[in-house]
Structure 1
Amino acid sequence: ELLYAVEENNVECCRALIDHGADVNASGRYGMTALIYAVERNNVECCRALIDHGADVNVIDGNGKTALLYAVEENNVECCRALIDHGADVNASGRYGMTALIYAVERNNVECCRALIDHGTDVNARDDGWKTALMYAVEKNNVECCRALIDHGADVNASGDDEKTPLMYTVERNSVECCRALIDHGADVNASDDDGKSALMYAVENIDDVECCRALIDHGADVNASGGYGMTALMYAVEKNNVECCRALIDHGADVNASGRYGMTALIYAVKRNNVECCRALIDHGADVNASDHDGKSAVIYAVENIDNVECCRALIDHGADVNVIDGYRKTALIYAVEKNNVECCRAMIDHGADVNASDDDGKSALIYAVEENNVECWRALIDHGADVNVRNDVRKTALIYAVEKNNVECCRALIDHGADVNASDKNEKTTLMYA
């Protein structure tokens, strides 16, 4: 009956039952006692009555939780204070090793948090994931709890099982106030997690996190540190199109020519993401426009592969990018442009001296690619600029053979009009007419 009375917040019945000898520590389903029911439902009067009559404030239910854990979880401040005042263990932990303090900061229960701290709770206790209350506070952008924890000795450099520090959590969430508080109290701005990522790298990944980025840089964050796969903060910034952070890093000495995974530079990342502003900023600050990755692909090759990336392509060409660069497959930027039917880049490359007759490992020239894919404007531009209409690939097929094979009448006529050999045959002596 006592459990039902408490569950229904029936204070008079609760007092009457207690006065007549009801067991204040009896438990019901899941091992929950009357006191646990009372705090879970914020029944303050019942809670006080039970405590006054000897209810065990530290009993643990079937969920592994004490009354205090329920109180802070529900932001039940009065019950929380009453339990603490009557000896509740402020360091008891429940499931996953979460203490009352961790529950409090996770739910932004500031008053409960302060009450627990004032009564000596361990501010550096960790849950089963090795996370501290401070990590939860900054992760939730809980500024008041963050400051209270720091003021009472929380370790600002504690790291979890993934080696992430509170500073990393706070910049990841763009919690500027928490970030400044941590830095002001000695947080290591150059610590790195299991993936080798620093707080600065997390900051630049968030396009709204410019203030945190600047604060970290101003307090000595290494702008050239590299993390997993050799990625620097600058690479993360341009990959996320974070222009302001990109400029801030460059202004503070970030190496614009550092190479990371697969030999890719920040400029290559910028071009791959069609990040025009970052691309221009990098070029203006000395980025090598001809640097290539492990596949031999330079920024201009990546630019022409994206049909929407004309501005980056032009910026690179205007600043001296080699239009005849060859990658590991012996393909030129012009071949990639034609293959992707990137007409504007194709014309730009030709206008700036791209070799219209260069061929890849298979002996295929840009013209052969153009007619094979029926990229009309590209093959017209190539023919108009002197592409060899009789060039053969490794199987001795000409552009005209590909044109008739694809039943590309318009291209076939254009090639013939410009001198294509109508009697050319492939390596099997199959002539153009036979293909037709």
Structure 2
Amino acid sequence: MRSIRFQFLILVLAAAVVGGFFITRGPLPRMSLGGAVRYCQVEHVRRSIAWGVPVNRPVSDVDTDISLHGPLHDSLSIAAMTGHEHVVLMLLEAGADVNAGAECGSTPLVEALCQGHTDIAAMLMDRGAVLQTCGEYGLTPLHEVVESLCWPQDAGWTLAFWLPHVEESVAFLIARGADVNVGDDEGNTPLHYAAGTSGYMQLSGTTPDRVYRVTEFHRRRMLLLLLLAGADVSVCNGEGKTPLDVAEAAGFRELVTIMREDESRWQDRLHGISDSDYVKHLYSQDWWMQELNELEDLHRRGGNLNAADPSGWSHLHQAARSGNLSAVKFLIEHGADVNVSSPYGFPIYQAAKTPCEDVVRYMIEAGADLRPGCDGRSPHDMAIERGQFWVARLIRQYEKDRFGK
């Protein structure tokens, strides 16, 4: 009898231990760590870490081809690139390699900066991310960020997809001590990249004139940031060409003028190119018409209007962000999904950040999802954060009509 009681006690204790094990770790994760990070499934990331899934194990079982550098192979780079700060912190605390992928250049730091996530970049550098690491072709993070202005348009993309945060990341790197005169394997400094077009752009068939029309505000400011930080206009690359030569060859006459003038004027020029200039440009009728014409041309050529760039940013995300009602209508009327999913949330999230009530109204009436995203913020929250109170009021009214709250 004692033996039976003893065995029963052992079973109870074992059950308690096993139960405690599951309680402290939670249920087994239902998706891989890479997949959970890719789609910002925070609870699944937490469970994976709790169950001891190696955070530095190569990711190969999800669609990781979300970087403009090619497939990402580690969870931290994916989290940094998609901007999930809380996931980045969880991975770092679990021992993720902050310099993973250095051999090919696509480190978590580079991925964060090329999307403008300077808060994540600061977190990574505070944890030991190396600023001057040279990856593939001898490119430093500063090279990579500057070159992002001239990435190809594989699916008919306008260059605006990669513009908004480039100069912010350049300023961040300069403030952190990046060498503005370091050359890549071919001797090109960041100023060479800022002054002209890259080989990528030539391969994609994009004309320098079109490149400059779309990138002019950011390109000028980025060039001036580099010059004011001490970038040398006389440095020759492996072909014996200076940044001046590169700008002249690309036909960027204004950049040539800037580099040739007295450096005492650079600070005034930088202050003279204000954010309001870019906002006016972004919301101008000429810009909207250009964007619409490009979409119409893409549609005529049989292009996919639902296509997303490597980071998950779709044509509708861009049209919503620029407040282009004509482009938004064209896309939705021709089959674009108003709720196309991406790490950046639904397109309505981008529209909510603008003052364009007509765009927000049209998208909501077309079925835009108003629920909070994986970070807990709703379109209404985003409108409030950006000071778009009339837009927030409009969204709130639709929420009341739709959800009765």
Q: TM-score, length-normalised on structure 1?
A: 0.41
Higher helix share: 2
Q: TM-score, length-normalised on structure 2?
A: 0.44
